[in-house]
Amino acid sequence: MSKAIESGLAKAISTVLKPLVRVLIRNEVSVAAFEELARQAYVDVAYRHFAIPKRKTTYSRVAVLTGLSRKEVVRLAKLREQPEPPVKSNPNRAVRVINGWLQDAEFLDGHRKPRILPLQGEVGSFAALVARYSGDITLGAVLDELERLGIVARPDKLSVSLLSMGYIPADDELEKVRIMSLCTADLLATAVHNLDHRDEDARFQRQISFHNISDEVASEFKQLTNDRSTELLQELNQFLSSRKTLSTESGVANNRVGLGIYYIENEFHTEENDDA
């Protein structure tokens, strides 16, 4: 590795880690605990992505790849073989209701967009939607939660409209962390893929950002990105959901595909050393 690559990679790692370290410190995850996770990740990646075809990956090879001692590799490899303890998570019924509203033809208009639903009725109503997708949770409980989070609106007392296609429970920190990990891992996986492949095989990865933007313009831009991004994601969601059955019927369907969009906003300032 050249000095330039080594220096650039070190800077990139530091940049990527800093937002994550904020989460770790806030949740009292120590450097020692993080180091153990990093060691486990090194060993896991060495086994998964750097194996020589038709040859068994030995402890010694993993030690060479990772810089860990052979003894340490043996310890971590044994941990890797142990099943991870399951994380208790109850499927959120509100998520099912929203997904049903976005995908079920009964609740879509002629352009496959979510209709404004009458509150009551046996077919095509919010009551029918909740009954189909929420299990035994009552209409009132689902409606109150979605209204509280600004996911739905009430144009009048007899109808309900969908305002947002996304749902993250406000008080579910574990779910927020899970979503953060999935989104970050997907973005990094795309970036790493593009490092390893030529333009014709690259995955879509684009970004715009401007400095010296006023608070007023930043607020307008945030609203614009929310509106346009929601429209695009809703269109793509409907595209895939309408073709999922065709994919299954046509044969093997092992691909996970999607598109992630994120909003950028931060203040630039000169950092001061508290000890200075």
Distance of alpha carbon 64 from alpha carbon 59, whole angstroms: 9
Distance of alpha carbon 235 from alpha carbon 240, whole angstroms: 9
Look at the alpha carbons of 245, 247, 252, 253 in this order and tell me if their dihedral is positive or negative. negative
Tens digits of residue pLDDT in 34-78: 999 999 999 999 999 999 999 999 999 999 999 999 999 999 999
Tens digits of residue pLDDT in 210-269: 999 999 999 999 999 998 998 898 888 888 877 876 666 666 778 899 999 999 998 765
Distance of alpha carbon 14 from alpha carbon 138, whole angstroms: 48
Predicted TM-score of the model (pTM): 0.69
Give the pLDDT confidence score for residue 166 in this predicted structure.
66
Give the pLDDT confidence score for residue 231 in this predicted structure.
86
Using the predicted structure, report yes or no on whether residue 200 has a pLDDT greater than 80. yes
Residue type, 33: A
Q: Where are the domains of the chain?
A: 1-85, 93-162
Average pLDDT, the chain: 86
Overall residue count recorded for the chain in this entry:
276
**Torsion angle, alpha carbons of 226, 229, 235, 237, to 10:** -90
Enter the tokens of residue 210: 């401007």
